[in-house]
Amino acid sequence: MAYEVPDLPYGYDALEPHIDEATMRVHHDKHHQAYVDKVNAALEDTEWEDRPIEEVLQNLDSLDEGKRKVVRNNGGGHANHSFFWQILSPDGGGAPSGRLFDAIDDGFDSFDDFKREVREAGIAQFGSGWVWVVKDGDDAVSITSTPNQDTPVMDGKTPILGIDVWEHAYYLKYQNKRPDYIEAIWNVVNWEEVQRRFEGR
Ligand code: MN
């Protein structure tokens, strides 16, 4: 069964005014669909076509050399966007609680300091890419970034939060102001889902 773009778990306009409807439509229906179409075409009739995308991304070296780059970019795009839609919510925002709060509290001066470091990592990512919060063992988190559609999953890591900093994620509303987009996205982070992933539930 080929990969499919999952439906958004909310309406296209549900994240307004922080992420606008026009951006969500083109991002989900066009960009994500294109990643899915291209990775499906690359994996068709190979032993990898029915495998979870995360497993494929952890085994790129096993693919034919001529397919590695297209699967890395488009399979990564499929995995990253499927993840991204889930960790956003119109009921999001606020702050985490429980063990995730403790992990952030232990690793950073404050929640605001954590958010500042995420924002700075997102700004520092030159060109297209993602900024991530990954699980570091049971009790800690760290911030990292990747270029293009690379994902910490490729290195066997567990991302719990990811922010798409490709221009297509924000340009219609925020133009060149990536910092404003990152600042706005905190209003729609689905901390319940981020916590679920941190706790491995
Ligand atoms: Mn994107």
Question: How would DSSP label each residue in 63-126?
Answer: S-HHHHHHHHHHHHHHHHHHHHHHTB-TT--S---HHHHHHHHHHSS-HHHHHHHHHHHHHHS-
- Does domain 98-198 correspond to CATH entry 3.40.50.1390? no
| Per-chain residues with Cβ under 5 A from ion ligand 1 | 164, 166, 169
Q: What is the 3-state secondary structure (H, E, C) of 131-159?
A: EEEEECCCCCEEEEEEECCCCHHHHCCEE
Residues of the chain below pLDDT 70:
none
C-alpha of residue 24 to centroid of ligand 1, in Å? 10
Q: Return the structure tokens found at 116.
A: 């500042």
Three-state DSSP at 26 gives helix
- Exposed (0-12), middle (13-18) or buried (19+): which is 43, by Cβ within 10 Å? buried
Residues of the chain with CATH 1.10.287.990: 21-86
Question: Rg of the chain's alpha carbons, rounded to an integer?
Answer: 17
Residues of the chain with CATH 3.55.40.20: 98-198
Q: Return the structure tokens found at 183.
A: 């600042």
| pLDDT tens by residue, 4-52 | 999 999 999 999 999 999 999 999 999 999 999 999 999 999 999 989 9
For helices 33-43 and 65-86, angle between their N-to-C axes, nearest 10 degrees: 140
pLDDT at 20: 98
Distance, in Å, from the CA atom of 160 to the CA atom of 83, rounded to the nearest integer, reads: 9
pTM: 0.97
pLDDT at 102: 96
CATH for 21-86?
1.10.287.990
C-alpha of residue 106 to centroid of ligand 1, in Å? 31
pLDDT at 50: 86
C-alpha of residue 56 to centroid of ligand 1, in Å? 20
Which residue do the tokens 């600042």 mark?
183
